[in-house]
A = this chain, B = another copy of it.
Amino acid sequence: MEKNLKRMATMQRMQSTGLELFYQQGYYNTSIDDILKKLSLSKGAFYYHFQSKEDFFISIVQNLLFQKVYSMLVEPIEGQEDPLNVISKSIEDALETAEHNNMDFGFVLSNFITEFNGKNPEIMKYLTDIMKVWEVNLITTLQKGKTDGYVDRHVDSEAVATYVISSYIGVRTLMVEGNSKMLRYKYVQQLKNYFKLISQKAVA
């Protein structure tokens, strides 16, 4: 009964290292041998646990990637009051984490979306689904913010969510060299300005 423990432990080691390398080098540019070498495991071990490279990647997306996005960008917002402050704080935290990570290669999710776009519709679906979880959560939170009097009632919540997500993806794409700190500072400054616009009862 407890034999599954070893299986799952090995699988998780593979997934964890897999995500790390896929994130650093891209999916197509990372070979299974790269991952196995880092773990001192063999091809046989890999294909014992996973059907294919694609199956392996999907399992990473559904487990690790979803968790990563959810805990960083969705959970901190869910059910909170004062949506605009909570949202900007979650984004600030995410950017700070990224900046202090000396091996940062952008927003994991959007990097993969870029890589798989037009190549693998099935994987794309898994990725955009995660994106959608964030989007829906943002919209819901903004709508609730209207009812609670934090957000201007004339604001188009869906449009705001689109704009917030877009800008976050972009700034993470740009945060790739030594200029991360200044970039983050400028970005957050403007994000908060933008939020001021939609918090008061101005046009929107």
Contact = CB atoms under 8 A, between A and B. Distances in A.
Interface in A187-204: 187, 189-191, 193-194, 196-198, 203-204
- Looking at chain A's contact residues, the main secondary structure is helix
Contact of A119 (B29, B128, B183): B29
B187 A197 contact: no
Copies in the complex: 2
Contact of A118 (B24, B119, B186, B194): B24
Given A29-B28, A167-B166, A159 B114 contact: no
A174 B163 contact: no
A117 interface: yes
Interface in A147-197: 156, 158-160, 162-163, 165-171, 173-174, 176-177, 183, 186-187, 189-191, 193-194, 196-197
Contacts of A168: 166, 170
Contacts of A131: 174
A113 B173 contact: yes
A113 B179 CA distance: 15
B156 A189 contact: yes
Given A28-B26, A186-B156, A193-B204, A170 B166 contact: yes
A67 B120 CA distance: 30
A187 B169 contact: no
A187 B204 contact: no
A174 B106 CA distance: 15
A113 B193 contact: no
A163 B114 CA distance: 20
A105 interface: yes
A157 to B, nearest CB: 10
What 10 A-B pairs are tightest by C-beta distance, nearest first?
A166-B170, A169-B170, A170-B170, A159-B186, A163-B190, A166-B171, A167-B167, A162-B186, A166-B167, A28-B29
